[in-house]
Each structure stands twice: as structure tokens, then as C-alpha cells.
Structure 1
């Protein structure tokens, strides 16, 4: 039996994007009818829908789908969450990792849901600064915790491939709420995400 990959895409959106990408290839001086490029517009159209699927997802609903009552108030950290996003200024990728923590106030959520929240907001056209705050706001709204902290470290291909062409630069953004605005709690979080505990 032959291999058949099954994916689901909006046909209207796919066809519209394909037409535009075909025209882009021609405007760049390429021949969109040559063998190597014949399926490129379709591939890009589907890739773009995959990489922006976060628009169709609700982070608060995801967190609430695995929300459990627990009478604890100790820091919960999920660190080194891989993220892949598209810079909204150049539509080039930025790639990195997120470190997310919260202090429960009677409610916890499934650990995988924290990673899902990062994915939902990453899979949109983004700037790293807004991405950081959106992750924090979703956790804050769903769990109403005593505190939330988000730190993102990423490399931006718009800086590496074009413009200043700085391959070794990285960008760090952070957002803190509640108990994490306290120096001691924030310092503990920063120490823990920097530590090699393995």
C-alpha cells in the first residue's frame, strides 16, 4: 500500500495563497512552471496555514480543559519549551525556548497545556515582546494564580540572514505578574531556569 499523508487545510485559503505565491515566484525572476517549483506554491500555502494555526485556537480554553483544584501554592516551572514563530515584520522565523512558571492559587493545569499555550501564541505572526505577554495573560486569566513568570530566549532569522547579519545574537524577553514582581521570588525563578538539574 502506497504512503499517503493526510492533512486538512481550508481549500479556499490554500488556493488563494497558491495563486499569490506563484505570482511572487514569477516576480522574483523565477519560472513557477519549472519542475522544481511546480508544487512549491501549494507547499508554501499549506506550510503557512500550519505555522499560523494558532489563530484558530484558544489558549484559555486549552488551560481550562485540564484544570484541577489543588490546595498548593508552590512554584510550578516548565522550562526549555521549544518555540518556532514567524516575525510579523519580515515573515522570517524566530526560534528559541520559553520558560514559564506560575504559583497556584487553588488551581493547577496539566503541564502539557503550558507548552500548548506557548505553541498557540507562537503559531501566529508575532513579535517576541507581545508573545511573552500573551502567554502570561492567558495563564493569569485561566488559573488566576498568585503569580506568573515568562522568559523567552530566541534567535531571529531577520537579524541573522538580512540587515545587520548578526548570527550570534539572541533576544531575551520577560514578563512577570504578582508574586514574581517580588525580587526574591523572581530571583528564585531565574536561578531555577538557569540551573542544570539533570
Structure 2
């Protein structure tokens, strides 16, 4: 179905009136349409299947000799994401780090950021977002273990209420073998390991 841009524009105009503004003045005349376009982008994940990016897998056991199977974790870190807090409809932004213990088959590395994007592009809370990412990766890839670490700054914390501009929130979700404390700690240490010089970013 997607976002009803016309209705969002109408409601934005009503909001401007409700706060005492004139939506017909030059600076605001096109604001309802701009907001509608923005909302369509920010909530593009509503109704989308987050498992779809993981549909295509490939074997790492079959290929140039000698054949092998994965023994350790696959880690994709520093996946940038943004979301909208469902409590105040204010944005959050941060980085996601995903580690999983694959079976015989793995997924293309670019697929994991797409999973994050689909799930983040809907009204969310960070705690749920991490758990949903872990569930999708664990179930769709039949992974032996999954860890998802999210580190984000929330404007509902930095701009209102306590107004803590330096505050960030870190959440951890773990599944399977990587839910075991020692294994989880090892992967989290790997996620936090310093990058070689020249590869910061």
C-alpha cells in the first residue's frame, strides 16, 4: 500500500495551523508536500519483508579445491542506519554491527545492511529493532548463532526531556551459540576491535 502522501500533506498543513503558523506563507507553502516525501522515505520499510534481501545465498563449501566449511563468525560492522522513534516520532541514527555463525551457505555481505534498512524504516524502538534483525538473520539463514549490536543517538533524548546531547544507546541481541556469554563476549570484542590505520571511517 505504501505511504498516503496526500493525507500526510493534509495532516502536515493541519499541524502547522495547530501550532499557530500560516501554511500559506512563502516559506511554508510547499512544506506539506516536502514532509510527505520525507515520510514516505523514512517509513519505506512498513509492510516490506525484511527477509527478502537474504533470499539468495551461496555455498562456501563448494568451489576451488580444497572444499571447506565455515568455522567462525561472519561479521559486518559499522552499518549506518536511521530510524524514527515510535514514541515521539523523532529520528535516531547510529551504527549496526551483525555477526553470525553460518552453516554451509552464506549470504552476500551487502544483504545484511538491506535487512537493517527495511526494519529501521518504520516506527521503531531500538531494543525491538536489534531483536528483529537477530530473528530474521537466525531464521532465514539457519545460522548457528547471531549477535546484533546497535549504537545510536536518539533525538528524543538529545533534543527534549533531559536534553543529553552526548548520550548514545547501545543494545545487544544474541541467538543460538552466540548467546553463550563467552562466545558473545568474543564476538563483541571483535566488533569493537580497532581498524588498521587508514581504514577508519
User: Do they superpose with TM above 0.5?
Assistant: yes
- Pairs within 5 Å for 1:30-49: 30-49=21-40
- Pairs within 5 Å for 1:70-109: 70=60, 71-109=69-107
Name the SS of the counterpart of 2:89 in structure 1: coil
- Pairs within 5 Å for 1:145-156: 145-156=143-154
Distance (whole Å) between structure 2 residues aligned to residue 73 and residue 106 of structure 1: 10
Name the SS of the counterpart of 1:189 in structure 2: helix
State the match for 1:174 in structure 2: 172
> 1:131 Cα deviation (Å)?
0.2
Q: Give a deviation string over 1:27-59, Cα, whole Å, max 9, x none.
A: 111100001101100010110011000114212
State the match for 2:6 in structure 1: 15
Q: Give a deviation string over 1:143-167, Cα, whole Å, max 9, x none.
A: 0111000010111100111111111
TM-score computed with the length of structure 2 as normaliser: 0.90
Alignment of 1:62 with 2:53, yes or no, is yes
Distance (whole Å) between structure 2 residues aligned to residue 73 and residue 133 of structure 1: 24
> 1:69 Cα deviation (Å)?
2.4
Distance (whole Å) between structure 1 residues aligned to residue 57 and residue 113 of structure 2: 15
CA contact (8 A) 1:83 1:97 kept: yes
TM-align CA RMSD: 1.4
Q: Which runs of no fewer than 5 residues in structure 1 stay unpaired?
A: 1-8
Name the SS of the counterpart of 1:174 in structure 2: strand
Q: Which runs of no fewer than 5 residues in structure 2 stay unpaired?
A: 61-68, 197-201
State the match for 1:183 in structure 2: 181
State the match for 1:114 in structure 2: 112
Name the SS of the counterpart of 1:17 in structure 2: helix
> 1:133 Cα deviation (Å)?
0.4
